[in-house]
Amino acid sequence: MSHLRTAAFAMIFAASPALGDDVTDTLDSAMAAYADGDISYAIEELDYAKQLLQSMQTGALADFLPEAPDGWSREDDSELGAGMAMFGGGTGASARYFNDAGEEYTLTILADSPMITMMSGMITNAAMMGLKMERVGREKFVNQDGELSGLIGNRILVQASGADIETMKNALGQIDYKALGSFGE
């Protein structure tokens, strides 16, 4: 193993904060495996570190989802983050809101996913396509058969579905879109 390659590998992780957490421990393990010449295990450890980091990012994205309104409950979707790999990557958070009257709706936020690129043309050209638009604060949402979809900063998709438009617009109005637009930057 070349000392130059080992030094280059170490420099990649030098920018990682020494937090003494699972991510740093896993990166240290990957570096040790690499130094020992065990490339397969180093790759496994790097993949695991990536999963840990994505999980942290998903948690940060979920913080943008509003609390349940009075009389409602919120249940976070813990499966969405893992399912993002099926859609080509990115980060996602989702929550189901429900009440005792049997009403419910879902809010979903997806960031940096190839799926957003596919939908962005429809969202940005919605008026030209004859789709109905709804405004939530300064943000515009496409109303497609009662599902609201908005594009924030050309890389974050926010969707609401399952309830009447006004209920979902009220929930969407609780999101800090300025901060959400800076997510991950």
Q: What is the pLDDT of residue 158?
A: 94
Q: Give the three-class secondary structure for 142.
A: strand
Mean pLDDT in residue range 114-142: 81
Full set of structural domains in the chain with CATH: 3-60 (no CATH), 65-181 (3.40.1000)
For residue 156, what are its two tokens? Answer: 């974050």
Strand order in the sheet with 132-136: 72-76, 91-99, 104-111, 156-161, 147-152, 139-144, 132-136
Can you tell me which residue has the tokens 């999980």? 55
DSSP state of 66: P
Q: What is the pLDDT of residue 13?
A: 44
The rounded distance, in Å, linking the Cα atoms of 25 and 49 is 9
The rounded distance, in Å, linking the Cα atoms of 175 and 34 is 43
Beta-bridge mates of residue 149: 142, 159
Interval 40-98: pLDDT, tens: 988 888 877 776 676 666 667 888 999 999 999 999 986 655 555 545 567 888 999 99
